[in-house]
Amino acid sequence: MSVNLLEIRDLTFTYPKKEIPTIQRLNMVVREGDFLSILAPSGAGKSTIFRLLTELERPQQGQILYELNQDIQIGYMPQRDLLLEWRTVLDNVTLPLELKGVQKKKARGLAAPYFSDFGLEGTQEHYPNELSGGMRQRVSFLRAIIGGCRVLLLDEPFSALDAITRLHMQDWLQEMCQKLELTTILVTHDIDEALRLSDRIFVFPSTPLAEYEEITLAEPHPRRESKVLVDHKQRILQTLFMEAR
């Protein structure tokens, strides 16, 4: 039975000069090994949860608790890959290690074995502008986990990719997260992406982010369209458009 790796209790956050909270008394539990997706209307504040988890923002109320109060390392993969165009692919990947004080030569040695598993073999000395969009996202993913993170935050990482590449990258991502035993939280506005990847989906109908509908998926991977997934999608759409009725 998996343990609760992360717990959010009564979390409330309001941006300066805003009267209405973005998050209000939010309670969530993330279990170890979860692939959890957060769905909400555009602009509802999904990414604010990540800003709080990474301590870029501080809540006005509530707590974020980790298993046994451990200092758990978090990796973050943003919507844009944010690769540094003047650094090689290998040196982009090793950047988090260098920022921790690891010598550049040692950091390169630690990163090198991952390139084969990530489908990046032969790109080490290339520059980002020589890579396709999908390959750039693989580099971004490797950079996010290279320091040994247990929790990976994904902020709409494939939204800029074409449809075919996006589907391929989704299956690859799910496989890698499972292989690396990562606990993963995905923020997305793409219902099909959430259904394709997730063990659980939290669906927020409106701002502030507070109450949500939880969808649990037990279908094996890789997933293709089925009646069960169509029924889940209908339920999600009903929740998202609840406020409009």
Is the CB of residue 89 less than 8 Å from the CB of residue 137? no
The one-letter code for the residue type at 121 is E
DSSP code, position 223: P
Asked if residue 42 is part of any domain, the answer here is: yes
Asked if residue 177 is part of any domain, the answer here is: no
Asked if residue 225 is part of any domain, the answer here is: yes
What are 4-35's pLDDT values in tens digits? 889 999 999 999 888 889 999 999 999 999 99
Asked if residue 195 is part of any domain, the answer here is: yes
Peptide bond into 157 cis (omega under 30): no
- DSSP per residue over 124-146, as a string? TTS-GGGS-HHHHHHHHHHHHHT
Q: Is the model's pLDDT at 242 over the cut of 80?
A: no
What are 44-65's pLDDT values in tens digits? 888 899 999 988 999 999 999 8
Q: How many helices (H) and strands (E) does the chain have?
A: 9, 9
Estimate to the nearest angstrom the gap between the alpha carbon of 136 and the chain centroid.
16
Cα distances from 62 to residues 11, 12, 174, in angstroms, run 4, 6, 31
Q: Is the model's pLDDT at 245 over the cut of 90?
A: no
- Domain coverage including residue 48: 1-72+183-245
What are 130-179's pLDDT values in tens digits? 999 999 999 999 999 998 888 999 999 888 888 899 999 999 999 999 99
Asked if residue 178 is part of any domain, the answer here is: no
DSSP code, position 45: S
Number of domains the chain is built from: 1
What does pTM read for this prediction? 0.91
Which pLDDT value is given to residue 1? 55
Of the chain, the percentage scoring pLDDT greater than 90 comes to: 67
Q: In the structure, what pLDDT confidence band is assigned to residue 3 with cuts at 50, 70 and 90?
A: confident
φ, ψ for residue 195, nearest 5 deg: -65, -35
Which pLDDT value is given to residue 70? 67
For residue 61, count CB atoms less than 10 angstroms from its CB and return exposed for 0-12, middle for 13-18, buried for 19 or more.
Answer: middle
Question: Residue 236's domain is classified under what CATH number?
Answer: 3.40.50.300
Asked if residue 57 is part of any domain, the answer here is: yes
Which pLDDT value is given to residue 243? 54
Which residues, listed in sequence order, are joined to residue 157 by a DSSP beta bridge? none
Q: In the structure, what pLDDT confidence band is assigned to residue 69 with cuts at 50, 70 and 90?
A: low
| Whole-number average pLDDT of the chain | 90
Which pLDDT value is given to residue 159? 85
What are 113-129's pLDDT values in tens digits? 999 989 999 999 999 99
Asked if residue 46 is part of any domain, the answer here is: yes
Asked if residue 153 is part of any domain, the answer here is: no
CB within 8 A of 234, min separation 6: which ones?
none
Peptide bond into 128 cis (omega under 30): no
